[in-house]
Chains A and B, each alone.
Chain A
Amino acid sequence: MIDLLPVLVPLPVLLPLIGAGIALILSKHTRAQNIVSIAILCAVMVIATFILVGTDAHGPQVVAIGGWQPPAGIVLVADRLSALMLIVSALVTLCVLVYALSQDANDDSNETPVSVFNPSYLVLCAGIANSFLAGDLFNLYVGFEMFLVASYVLLTLGATAERIRAGVTYVIISLVSSVIFLAAIGIIYAATGTVNMAQLSERLSALPSDVQMILHVMLLLGFGIKAAIFPLSFWLPDSYPTAPAPVTAVFAGLLTKVGIYAIIRTETLLFADSSLRVPLLIAAGLTMLVGILGAIAQSEIKRIVSFTLVSHIGYMLFGVALGTSVGLSAAIYYTVHHIIVQTALFLAIGLVEMRGGSTSTRSLGGLMVLSPVLTIIFFIPALNLSGIPPFSGFIGKVALFLAGFDDRAWLPTVLIVAGTVTSLLTLYVIGRTFNLAFWRDPADVEEPNADLVDEFADRKKTLLAGRKWTSQIGVPPAMVVATSVVVAASLVLTLAAEPLWGMADRAAVNLQTPVDYVTNVLGGEDG
């Protein structure tokens, strides 16, 4: 088992890439392509489980690619945080793929060409895995570019006018963030002579503090754009909602969290004695409040949820900026929770769009009567997002607030207040959306949808007559199942809160002692 681990570590990157190649070759045979993609992601999921169990039991796994030993060669490092992120991303990408493929199979409009979708999606998965496993800064950049380029393709699938408009903003903003990141790598190399994160951890602290500050700010800017932190978050609600539902789901769930992951690494490994805690805390507070205020103004469910996504990034940044062990473990737990819940919510919205023909609260109504299953699927992650007690959002928020109180300073206290307000406003936004789209009579809405109105009246009539009623507009069962699995996973986060919290806690302890990471990468011969 221990001998096998180093072989497993590169596979989450390699397998999807190979799969992408096979999928391209098979682009004429949709069915074969789908089978390959799903099989590959299932395999990644199993491998990620092994890596998680292995790293938890035997410590970080370091693999030198091509046998070139660090610091000269490229290393992949799987520690507890990487492994945890890997398994969550594997679960989410698998469910979203199933959802997307069954949507395509039932979609006659041919708006999303499957032959392009599968390879790009697999490259996206490989890029995300590479970012989580990267042991040097340049490899992290390559991972970022891999999933970014794939995301450009996925966001502009079908190249309709609306998607191109949104895609232009997204691509240009992402390019700016990549350029800043790359420039930071160049300057870091000039200053320290290495891009290996373990070596950087030792050498960066020896630099003059002003040089350190410049490098630190450049990295945070690059990652901050990706993670959608307040002054850099404006692009997200503009570009995400136009993409196909499964694409938005995986972007919202994972891409911003890769940015958060990179920030966690920067703060704990590269600049462990960070001098930017206060600005980060302020940015976290503003991200929460500005994001949720944006959500209140919207009337389209996809855009509302995109704004809450920005808002809740603030919680994770809060935990990271605290810099304490409890803060970090809360941030990690919250990140895991948020990936799953946000994905579930976007998948549910995709179903709403399919069922109701729109995602605007101005034309939706009566979905509670028309589709009770869909209502439950939407309602659980929605409550979870706003942090209602039995769900994981509540646990994550309580953990963050406790970590804030531990700090006994005024700024974290202000942030706790901001976090509470944000949480309440999220509940308000979610409650309003639910009232409008699910509870209302569809005839009462601003822009009535004739199909919904007729169906609603029909349904009421048959129910009063005591007959069984089935809808004409079916939602593919595979999509409902895929969404339900993600929703169920979010419930498991509550039921298995203790082991997960323990895992997050151990990961945070690892992060607090970067020396271990350094000796593992540079000193270990077992890699």
Chain B
Amino acid sequence: MSMPFVMVLAMGVLFASGIYLMLERSLTRVLLGFILLGNGVNLLIILTAGRGAPPLTDGKNLSTAGMSDPLPQALILTAIVITFAVTAFLLAMIYRSWRLMRADSLQDDDTDLQVAITKVIDSEAEASTDYDDTEFGDEAESPITGAVDLDDDGTPDERDEIAEEIDDASTPNEADDIAEAAANSQTRAHSADEAQAAESAQEAKQPDEESDDLPERGDRS
């Protein structure tokens, strides 16, 4: 069983580029990375069969000499089908994520951020959750440049306006909360600075909870 060097090289390239793409934050690239990686593994399995004649006999001469091993071919069929099905599911999920989040990148976990924020009550900490390291910037419009904007609720600016309106609408409740939080933290905190920080943290959290349907990216910009 000898492996042709070119095939091994191709497998190596598939693995390397697949892993590279999977490390990206953009979901479409992760999908492409997974496809490459899956094909790399399939190639690896088929290479274990070695080169040889097709595993078929004419019914009389039952010698297996010179045939390639049929088992990896059976294994790879299963693996290909599984990879195919999972790719389809992943694609559907990425599309759904795009529809909901308006971003083709992995989203941060709000609860995680909340835990981080409550530990460091600091308006700076809140601002730092805003980062986005994809090349599309904060308003990743579409994975394909020039694609039709699927937004039902308008441009990012319009969405901001809606978010602000919601803020205004909830002011009575919110004002109470903020006042209470500020009063509480004033009793605990020694400086007015900390109270201020608590207030802004409270404020920053409110819109997130109330505008579930709204694009989060829009809120943050």
Cβ contacts A182-210/B at 8 Å (1 or 0 each)? 11011101100001000000000000000
A186 touching B41, Cβ below 8 Å? yes
Q: How far is the CB of B212 from chain A (nearest CB, A)?
A: 7
Contacting pair B38 A179 (CB below 8 A): yes
Please determine whether A238 and B112 come into contact, CB atoms closer than 8 angstroms. Answer: yes
Is A138 among interface residues, defined by CB-CB distance under 8 A? yes
Q: If A138-B75, A189-B72 touch, does A179 touch B30 (CB 8 Å cutoff)?
A: no
Q: Is A161 engaged at the interface, CB distance under 8 Å to the other chain?
A: yes
Partner of B41 from the list A145, A182, A241, A300 (CB cut-off 8 Å) is A182
Which A residues between 158 and 192 are near B, CB-CB below 8 angstroms?
Answer: 159-161, 164-169, 171-172, 175-176, 178-179, 182-183, 185-187, 189-190
With contacts A179-B38, A187-B44, A189-B72 known, is A171 near B93, CB below 8 A?
A: yes
Are B48 and A168 in contact, CB atoms less than 8 angstroms apart? no
The interface centre, meaning the residue of A152, A160, A165 with most chain B CB atoms within 10 A of its CB, is: A165
Q: Which residue of A lies closest to B38 (CB)?
A: A179
Contact of A156 among B78, B85, B93 (CB under 8 A): B93
Among A135-171, those with CB < 8 Å from B are 138, 142, 145, 149, 152-153, 156, 159-161, 164-169, 171
User: Taking the complex as formed, is B90 at the interface, i.e. its CB lies under 8 A from any CB of chain A?
Assistant: yes
Q: Mark B92-129, 1 if CB is under 8 A from A, else 0.
A: 01101100110000110101100100110000000000
Decide yes or no whether B22 CB sits under 8 A from chain A: yes
Report if A161-B212 is in contact (Cβ < 8 Å); known contacts: A182-B79, A186-B45, A189-B72.
yes
- The 8 Å CB contact of A164, one of B93, B109, B119, is B93
A189 closest partner in B (C-beta): B48
A298 proximal to B (CB < 8 A):
yes
Answer whether residue B175 sits at the interface, using C-beta atoms and an 8 A cutoff.
no
**CB-CB under 8 A for A176 and B119, given A161-B101, A189-B72:** no
Is A297's CB within 8 Å of the partner chain B?
A: yes
B109 touches A165 (CB 8 A): yes
| Count, A-B residue pairs, CB within 8 A | 90
Contact A138:B93 (CB < 8 A) given known A149-B86, A186-B48, A303-B111: no
Interface string of A296-308 (1 = CB under 8 A from B): 0111100100000
Which B residues are in CB contact (< 8 Å) with A189? 45, 48, 71-72, 75
Are the C-beta atoms of B41 and A138 separated by less than 8 Å?
Answer: no
State whether A145 and B82 are in contact (beta carbons under 8 Å apart), knowing that A168-B106, A179-B41, A299-B115 are contacts in the complex: yes
Residues of B contacting A303 with CB < 8 Å? 111
How far is it, in angstroms, between the C-alpha of A106 and the C-alpha of B44 when the chains are bound?
Answer: 50
- CB closest residue in chain A, given B46: A186
Residue of B nearest to A187 (CB): B44
Interface bracket on B: 35 or more
Q: Of all chain A residues, which has the CB nearest B76?
A: A186
Measured in the bound complex, the distance between the Cα atoms of B79 and A142 in whole Å is 9
Nearest A residue to B118 via CB reads A299
With contact pairs A169-B106, A171-B93, A186-B45 given, residues A176 and B22 touching in the complex (Cβ less than 8 Å): yes
Docked pose: A164 CA to B99 CA in angstroms: 11
Q: Which residues of B contact A300 (CB under 8 A)?
A: 111
Q: Are A183 and B41 also in contact (CB < 8 A) when A149-B89, A172-B22, A172-B34 are?
A: yes
| A179-B37, A189-B72 known; A165 vs B96 contact (CB < 8 Å) | no
Contact with A along B44-86 (1 / 0, CB 8 A): 1101100000000000000000000001100100110010011
Are A164 and B115 in contact (CB-based, < 8 A)?
no
Measured CB to CB, the closest approach of chain A to B211, in angstroms, equals: 11
**Which chain B residues lie closer than 8 Å to A159 at the CB level?**
96, 100
B-chain residues with CB within 8 Å of residue A175 when the two chains form the complex: 34, 86, 90
B27 within 8 A of A: yes
Pick from A160, A161, A168: contact of B93, CB under 8 Å: A168
Closest Cβ of chain B: how far from A154's Cβ, in Å? 12
Task: For the complex, give the distance between the alpha carbons of A152 and B78 in Å.
Answer: 19
Pair A161/B34 contact, Cβ less than 8 Å: no
Q: What's the minimum C-beta distance from B13 to chain A, rounded to whole angstroms?
A: 15
A168 touches B27 (CB 8 A): yes
Within 8 Å CB of A161, what residues of B? 100-101, 212
Whether A168 and B97, one on each chain, are in contact in the complex, defined by CB atoms closer than 8 angstroms, is yes
Q: How far is the CA of A195 from the CA of B78 in the complex (A)?
A: 14
Query: Contact between B100 and A164 (Cβ–Cβ < 8 Å)?
Result: yes
**A contact residues around B71 at 8 Å (CB):** 189, 195
Q: Chain A residues near B90 (CB, 8 Å)? A: 171-172, 175
| B112 proximity list for chain A (CB < 8 A) | 238
How far apart sit A363 and B192, CA to CA, in the bound complex (Å)?
A: 27
Which residues of chain B have C-beta atoms less than 8 A from A164's C-beta? 93, 96-97, 100-101
CB distance from A139 to the nearest CB of B (A): 10
A166, B34: Cα distance in complex, Å = 18
Give the chain A neighbours of B115 by CB distance below 8 A: 297-299
Tell me, in angstroms, the Cα distance from A142 to B107 when the chains sit together. Answer: 30
How does the 8 Å CB contact mask read for B145-181 relative to A, with 1 for contact and 0 for none?
0000000000000000000000000000000000000
A171 contacts B111, C-beta separation under 8 Å: no
B78 touching A138 by the CB < 8 A rule? Answer: yes
Assess the A238–B109 pair: CB atoms within 8 A: yes
Give chain A nearest CB distance to B48 CB in angstroms: 4
A172 in contact with B86 (CB, 8 Å): no
CA distance A238 to B112 in the complex (A): 8
When distances are taken between beta carbons in the complex, the residues of chain A under 8 Å from B44 are: 183, 186-187
Taking a contact as CB atoms under 8 Å apart, the answer to whether B75 and A165 are in contact is no
C-alpha spacing A183/B89, complex, angstroms: 22
29 sample A-B contacts, Cβ–Cβ < 8 Å, listed by A number = A138-B78, A149-B85, A149-B86, A152-B89, A159-B96, A159-B100, A161-B100, A165-B97, A166-B109, A167-B93, A168-B27, A168-B94, A168-B106, A171-B89, A172-B22, A172-B30, A172-B90, A175-B86, A178-B82, A182-B79, A183-B41, A183-B44, A187-B44, A187-B48, A190-B1, A195-B75, A297-B115, A300-B111, A303-B111
Using a CB–CB cutoff of 8 Å, the interface residues on chain A facing chain B are 138, 142, 145, 149, 152-153, 156, 159-161, 164-169, 171-172, 175-176, 178-179, 182-183, 185-187, 189-190, 195, 238, 241, 297-300, 303
Q: Told that A164-B96, A186-B41 touch, could you supply 17 new A-B pairs with CB distance under 8 A?
A: A138-B78, A145-B86, A149-B82, A149-B89, A156-B93, A159-B100, A165-B101, A165-B109, A171-B89, A171-B90, A172-B22, A179-B41, A182-B79, A185-B75, A189-B72, A190-B48, A238-B112
Question: Can you list the 6 inter-chain pairs with the closest CB atoms, starting with the nearest?
Answer: A190-B48, A186-B45, A186-B44, A161-B100, A165-B107, A183-B41
